[in-house]
Amino acid sequence: MTLPTTHMRTIIIPAAGKGTRMLPATQVTAKELLPVYDRPVIQFAIDEAIHAGADRIIVVVSDSKPAIREFLGDTAIASTGASTATEIVYVTQADAMGLGHAVLCCKGMTLPGPFGIILPDDIIVGGSCMSEMAGHYHAGQMIAAMKVPVADTSKYGIFSFRGTTNDICIPVNGIVEKPTLGQAPSSVAAVGRYILQPMVFDILGQTPKGAGGEVQLTDAIAIATRSLPLTAFQFSGTRYDCGSLDGLLAAANARQASLKAVRMDAPLSIVRPSVRPYVGSQTQSPDPDQPFCEPVSRAF
């Protein structure tokens, strides 16, 4: 069978960051393994990659965080406990040189066609963002997008647009990584979901260090826009920044609320036998596939 050239078969999950914003919680534990109520942060990315139909997940790790590999193994397992045909391969990022460098470490490991990236810190609930993007993707580059307070624009990659639009897919003029306050071209930020073309690997290999002295994925994407159109995608779900303590707590609270709602909605005769106590490593939710927040829609 010949797959369409727009079919995304590989998803990269960069997980080699040091988690310095969350010390001492991340002193010996990878931030990707911190719990969001009942499951680790990285499991959300794995579930989303499985849902989007990935054949291969590439996890970028550092030698100082071997537990990520121990937890995930070599074949993706959904949080329902169901095994899948999705293989997990690992690549080590020896030096913390930024997100762009982490993605560059995967050069030559992606399957043919466009590839996806899920930043595990960005948990999106209430709709599988990567599946939504894959459903709308036709060509070029696509990044999930969200409006943020103007005061926060210096924390993100920020898009510039030709005009305003309420479409789900919005053509983008350019993107700039962490602009200084007052210099942001809009208040619409990149969120950690990307669909990119392999040519970005070649660009990354020549991209100089940018914001924060790191090789920035955003900079390579901006260069690629000279030959590839870039689309900002308005996703339907709610995003939590689980690379921050407050975001992690908010996600955990939402997760807890959704599990309780699922249990209250379900008939007792079904719930009682299937609910296991929320302790120990064998714990599973009654319905882990149930999105745990109502989808919200935003207009830029």
Q: Which residues bind ligand G1P (CB under 6 A)?
A: 99, 119, 122, 156-157, 177, 189-192, 216-218
Provide the H-helix boundaries in the chain.
Answer: 41-51, 67-72, 99-104, 129-136, 199-204, 217-224, 245-265, 268-274
Nearest CA to 106 out of 214, 202, 245 is that of 202
CA distance 171 to 143: 11
What DSSP state is assigned to residue 271? H
The residue sitting closest to ligand G1P, measured at its beta carbon, is 157
Q: Are 251 and 234 in contact (CB under 8 A)?
A: no
Give the nearest distance from C-beta 40 to ligand G1P in angstroms: 18
Cβ proximity to ligand G1P, 100 vs 288, nearer residue: 100
Cβ proximity to ligand G1P, 137 vs 156, nearer residue: 156
Cβ proximity to ligand G1P, 61 vs 99, nearer residue: 99
Cβ proximity to ligand G1P, 45 vs 259, nearer residue: 45
Cβ proximity to ligand G1P, 157 vs 237, nearer residue: 157
Give the nearest distance from C-beta 125 to ligand G1P in angstroms: 15
Give the nearest distance from C-beta 132 to ligand G1P in angstroms: 17
CA distance 253 to 11: 28
Q: Are 274 and 280 in contact (CB under 8 A)?
A: no
Give the nearest distance from C-beta 292 to ligand G1P in angstroms: 20
Residues 6+ apart with CB under 8 A from 284: 38, 79, 80, 81, 276
Cβ proximity to ligand G1P, 58 vs 77, nearer residue: 58
Nearest CA to 224 out of 190, 198, 192, 188 is that of 198
Give the nearest distance from C-beta 6 to ligand G1P in angstroms: 23
Give the nearest distance from C-beta 212 to ligand G1P in angstroms: 8
